[in-house]
Structure 1
């Protein structure tokens, strides 16, 4: 659960003195229904709107999971706002009565992924989820970046839909519905793609009845038979085409490590005969050009080695977003969320609440009893710079396993263990480079 929650008028009065009230053009409220609920979305929205107006104010992002009203108790799992502002931007008090609220009601599919197989091939060609899926619930909220990357991707999808609705001539203005996220391993590229597909499905629930995510297994599309890989790519996209043909479905196609499918053609030429890799690239580009005319499809791709990607594919990507290693501010926020979760579970004994960076800044980063531990976490975050988001999320576990080894620990002792664990990561990395 996020540490930011709805506030009553009395509770927020002291916050308003320090922070301006913002009337935003619109906030998106996600309402997760109980899987067995049969309540009509319009009725649910009315009850949630009454709840928000009753509280009147919210401070930054929030999530509510406990309700007093019996209807909400029976039908709603959570009500949340999780993208009111970019990571690191100053948070403001939100006037829920004055702001325009966009309410999105959804239910999670609890089945895991299915597999898509191609005739005659041993490996599954793709994993397939119905969206929104419980597998991806909460990923969006826990992804932390130094820029407003999540907001930019949502704006891209909105513009894509708008241009399609308005029948903008693609011969005049070109867009291909392709996103390329690139950067070092472990920075959250694949997770962001899955979370984006989930978020789009929720945001567009009034337009599309359901969503589908197809994660292509690139390695399965390289056949053991020479020259067959290009045909496998076409077969895979024929299956995707069947899904796109349903106008009620929002289809997101995820191709992880796209460089394995789009190896630069200039490096694969051999004699007068094109290699199988070239046939794969040509087949993929052809299929992308064919499906881009459909309004209900999005192609999401990732790469760790952008220099290996064919330039013809790079040119087709509408957005080429670099996802780098988190800076200390983002690291602080990641650690902050991890520690709050360990406090919630009782592993870290509840003590004074950790302050966020904005609160520390307001207090000029002065050290006192209220700020001591928060400043200590800030120092640990600075010393952790250079680690990937994937490594940072593992560190609380490693810190406990190696340097705590007991059921409960004080926050002060855990911060010491966390610092030791982060420095151990750097040492392990250095040791690996010696081999």
Structure 2
């Protein structure tokens, strides 16, 4: 039997038994049309007062099911939780001169700040789901005590590719999802984002000591087997720089100490079953080959295709319709409208407009694409509320503007 994950996000901690919450939500969902990725968040007090008062959202996971979901024919994995709303906390220390240094930024998971990231990341393939399976398998092997000398597993993931393709966001979203899926195994989960640039001291030989001091703090946390720690190192090449390139510099010794310290510490913490290391890089050629070899998963994230761009734009448009900036119905444009003979002329035209804009946007990063609607409104529209025709015209101009600006940078 196929399985499906359903997440229930509670507004606040409450004393209602988890099984009662699941039963109530199951009855509620049985009256709805369910599709993979569906989100329910605007509840009616008349339908069910408990759902209205106590539940913030119900999330249906993405799956391979292409048609409507029938809950009675699936094994449902229910996850009930609340979101931490305290925000990020900084972990600081002092260097030899007494100057305060920010070693890392920490979030308690699952966290409100990054709770929507997973849904906003759109790729052509099942990259998100595959990475979550990889991470879950890594943690399962570790918790079962699989000997890493026999089955090699360092619990290190490396995401690489051009800037703006969502590598850092995907790491954070992956940590968030993993904390939800392992909630029965761990009482607490933490995401620690290492501030790589702070670890390079102006004092000679201090950088390697700072790396060791940071990992010592990490070890103090992961000594507790009830805490899951997801360690995020963005731009890993700044810490694990290729040693053959370090040797060619004027002062290579401090950089070499940092690389050696990072590799040593990774080798030491891999014996802990409750830690996962997530890393990103825009410049894989600059990473030390010894670190690359330690990464269990090396996943490339490229620039989005026209198909992915269409769905990114569509999510942006739906947000602007929901907030009243665009006057339209969100159901008026879907890819199916190009093939569906029952689509109206207006539905066909709106979809065709967005497809055309998506095709001319190929080459822009995901980060740049999500700025296009803002640029369209800021530069090419007058008035607070517009219709879809006007907005699509403005988006086309905004894309051309962005491509032109990008070409100027490339020339320079």
For 1:141-162, what per-residue CA distance to the aligned partner results, in whole angstroms no more than 9, with x for missing partners?
A: 1100111110111111121122
For 1:61-89, what per-residue CA distance to the aligned partner results, in whole angstroms no more than 9, with x for missing partners?
A: 2111114211111211110113224xxxx
TM superposition shift of 1:42: 2.8
TM superposition shift of 1:242: 1.3
4+ long deviations beyond 4 Å: 270-274, 364-367
For 1:47-105, what per-residue CA distance to the aligned partner results, in whole angstroms no more than 9, with x for missing partners?
A: 222223344x51332111114211111211110113224xxxx8212111111110101
Counterpart check, 1:147 vs 2:128: no
**After alignment, is 273-282 or 419-428 more displaced?**
273-282
Alignment check: 8 A CA contact 1:108 1:131 kept = yes
Q: Distance in 1 between matches of 2:187 and 2:16?
A: 16
1:27-426 to structure 2, matched below 5 A, reads: 27-55=4-32, 57-65=33-41, 66-67=43-44, 68-85=47-64, 91-120=66-95, 121-269=99-247, 275-351=253-329, 353-357=331-335, 359-360=336-337, 362-363=339-340, 368-426=345-403
| Distance verdict in 2 for CA 1:147–1:209, change over 3 Å | same
Q: Distance in 2 between matches of 1:177 and 1:41?
A: 31
| Distance verdict in 2 for CA 1:272–1:406, change over 3 Å | closer
CA RMSD of aligned residues (A): 2.0
Alignment check: 8 A CA contact 1:399 1:418 kept = yes
Q: Distance in 2 between matches of 1:82 and 1:292?
A: 30
| Distance verdict in 2 for CA 1:323–1:272, change over 3 Å | closer
Q: Distance in 1 between matches of 2:111 and 2:136?
A: 21
Alignment check: 8 A CA contact 2:240 2:288 kept = yes
Q: Distance in 1 between matches of 2:169 and 2:394?
A: 27
SS in 2 for 1:117: strand
TM superposition shift of 1:36: 4.6
TM superposition shift of 1:356: 2.2
Number of equivalent positions: 406
For 1:124-146, what per-residue CA distance to the aligned partner results, in whole angstroms no more than 9, with x for missing partners?
A: 11111111111101110110011
For 1:266-293, what per-residue CA distance to the aligned partner results, in whole angstroms no more than 9, with x for missing partners?
A: 1112699961111111111111111111
Q: Distance in 1 between matches of 2:303 and 2:364?
A: 7
Q: Distance in 2 between matches of 1:224 and 1:431?
A: 36
| Distance verdict in 2 for CA 1:368–1:282, change over 3 Å | same
TM superposition shift of 1:369: 3.0
Q: Distance in 1 between matches of 2:265 and 2:101?
A: 21
SS in 1 for 2:325: coil
Q: Distance in 2 between matches of 1:78 and 1:331?
A: 26
Q: Distance in 2 between matches of 1:272 and 1:224?
A: 15
Alignment check: 8 A CA contact 2:11 2:56 kept = yes
Alignment check: 8 A CA contact 2:160 2:281 kept = yes
Alignment check: 8 A CA contact 1:39 1:75 kept = no
Point out where structure 1 has 5 or more consecutive residues left out of the alignment: 1-23
For 1:94-127, what per-residue CA distance to the aligned partner results, in whole angstroms no more than 9, with x for missing partners?
A: 1111111101011111111111112334331111
For 1:359-397, what per-residue CA distance to the aligned partner results, in whole angstroms no more than 9, with x for missing partners?
A: 135438999333111111000000000000001111101
Point out where structure 2 has 5 or more consecutive residues left out of the alignment: none
| Distance verdict in 2 for CA 1:53–1:234, change over 3 Å | same
**After alignment, is 59-68 or 197-206 more displaced?**
59-68
For 1:196-221, what per-residue CA distance to the aligned partner results, in whole angstroms no more than 9, with x for missing partners?
A: 11111111112212210110010111
SS in 2 for 1:173: coil
